[in-house]
């Protein structure tokens, strides 16, 4: 278990570094979008390349930050329902769902993306839009993003198992619900107990 936890920590460090640094791509995308809009409205000049750069940057940020989001336990879930369950039940649900649903999904998407990316690189695929950009850099981000997500999924499975058996504390457990939500959760737990 010690070796697996060290592997998990290494994955976490890599995805933490990437996740924190790709956030700047959103700012770049917004600035390019604003600049493009100003040029279009002021000088009636526009370019499909600038529009495509925007979605390349946004897509890259989204794909590369997905593993970081999973690491931070910030992915979408129904917190109201989840908070009514015991901590141990939530840990088991996370472990089982990561292993049965998330891992096969990310493995499948990554496996399917490899020939898709390879074909795009070999053909020198270019956007069909006038003045459009080459497409393989955007497509390769799908493969890279899902590969990072595969590794983070393994890390989460390792950590969740270690938490269940009591080897490590849960560092992602949130205790920052607003007071109204705490009251709602307590009321729901009382109602469920009746």
Find the domain containing 163 and state its range: 2-193
Token pair of 30 as six digits: 């917004």
pLDDT tens-digit series, residues 127-160: 888 877 888 999 999 999 999 999 999 999 999 9
- The count of domains in the chain is 1
Q: How many CB atoms lie within 10 A of CB 44?
A: 7
Answer yes or no: are the C-beta atoms of 82 and 90 closer than 8 Å. yes
Grade residue 83 by pLDDT with cuts at 50, 70 and 90.
confident
What pLDDT shows up at residue 176? Answer: 53
Provide CB contacts within 8 A for 109, sequence distance 6+: 142, 146
SS (HEC) of 85-102: CCHHHHHHHHHHHHHHHH
Q: Is the pTM here over 0.85, yes or no?
A: no
pLDDT tens-digit series, residues 5-57: 999 999 999 999 999 999 899 999 999 999 988 988 899 887 888 888 998 99
């Amino acid at each position: 278990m010690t070796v697996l936890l060290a592997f998990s920590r290494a994955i976490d460090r890599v995805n933490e570094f990437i996740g924190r640094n790709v956030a700047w791509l959103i700012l770049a995308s917004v600035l390019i979008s604003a600049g493009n809009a100003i040029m279009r409205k002021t000088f009636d000049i526009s370019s499909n390349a600038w529009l495509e750069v925007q979605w390349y940057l946004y897509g890259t940020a989204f794909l590369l930050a997905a593993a970081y989001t999973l690491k931070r336990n910030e992915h979408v879930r129904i917190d109201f329902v989840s908070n009514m369950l015991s901590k141990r039940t939530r840990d088991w649900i996370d472990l089982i769902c990561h292993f049965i649903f998330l891992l096969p999904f990310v493995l499948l998407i990554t496996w399917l993306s490899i020939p898709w990316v390879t074909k795009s690189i070999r053909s020198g695929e270019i956007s069909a839009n006038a003045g459009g950009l080459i497409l393989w850099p955007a497509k390769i981000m799908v493969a890279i993003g899902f590969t990072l997500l595969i590794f983070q999924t393994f890390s989460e499975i390792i950590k969740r198992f270690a938490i269940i058996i009591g080897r490590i504390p849960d560092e992602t457990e949130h205790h920052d619900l607003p007071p109204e939500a705490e009251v709602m959760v307590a009321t729901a737990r009382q109602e469920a107990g009746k």
